[in-house]
Homo-oligomer: A and B are copies of this chain.
Amino acid sequence: MHKLTQFRLCPRSRSIRLVLNELSIDAELLDERPWEWRPAFLAKNPAGELPLLEMGGETLLCGTYAISEFIAEEVSKHPAHTGPVPLFPGNREARSEVRRLVDWFHGKMDRDVTHEMMVQKVHNRHASGGPQAPSPDVMRALRTNLSYHLGYVAFLSGQRRWLAGEELSFADFAAAGHFSVLDYLGEVPWESYPDAKIWYQRLKSRKSFRPLLADRFPGVAPPPSYTDLDF
């Protein structure tokens, strides 16, 4: 049995959970709270980053980059597999577009919005010196940054069926990891970005998404629209 060490509100963990669900790869979920820096976790990944995927008790994969590329190679080389690389559709140029967008969401959007939003609204509730309330100035800046990223998703969705092209790809799941966490926190003004909303609605209706919609983190309740497929 594979094991995925993850945190239920971590965007990168979520993107890999979605990918595993899409590809019907079963993995036991092990919960890790990233702000605890547990020695047993750091011994596995000294970077202290999530998620970690242990494949069949042998191979330890750290981080979305190593995990995504490994999964794509693993599934493609299976004797029963035919056709293009799963979730990396198309030719090399098309795969470069997928990778550019994965980097956009796990890199740029994480730096601009998600990482600090999680610190403000979740991690700081568990700060060692006691819970800290979000800073209004920081929250305002993060919401401004988020509107830019929503605009970019709306722009892409207005031109393509999925974010990187006509086929579903790792790019959609990278984006979904971030937007689903922000949606859990009630931070996404979907109504102002109808094309982004259509993209997210189609993704959220997939079977692979259901386990994520059932997740709850103690002390932080999602708004009712979080689980509503016709939000």
A residues lining the B interface (CB < 8 Å): 46-47, 49, 59, 61-63, 65-66, 69-70, 73-74, 92-93, 95-97, 99-100, 102-104, 107-108, 111, 152
Contacts and interface: CB of A to CB of B under 8 A. Distances in A.
Given A74-B92, A93-B59, A99 B65 contact: yes
B66 A99 contact: yes
B95 A63 contact: no
Q: Binding site of A, secondary structure by majority: helix, strand, loop or mixed? A: helix
A100 B62 contact: yes
B104 A69 contact: no
Top 9 A-B residue pairs of the complex, sorted by shortest distance between their CB atoms: A66-B99, A66-B96, A62-B100, A65-B103, A63-B103, A65-B99, A66-B100, A47-B108, A70-B96
B96 A61 contact: yes
15 contacts: A46-B152, A47-B104, A47-B107, A47-B108, A49-B107, A49-B108, A61-B96, A62-B96, A62-B103, A63-B99, A63-B100, A65-B102, A66-B96, A69-B69, A70-B95
A105 B152 CA distance: 27
Q: How many copies altogether?
A: 2
Nearest to A73: B92
A7 B11 CA distance: 30
A216 to B, nearest CB: 29
A96 B69 CA distance: 8
A216 B62 CA distance: 36
A66 B103 contact: yes
A140 B107 CA distance: 25
A152 B102 CA distance: 27
Contacts of A152: 46
A37 to B, nearest CB: 13
**Interface hub of A61, A66, A102, A104 (most chain B Cβ within 10 A):** A66
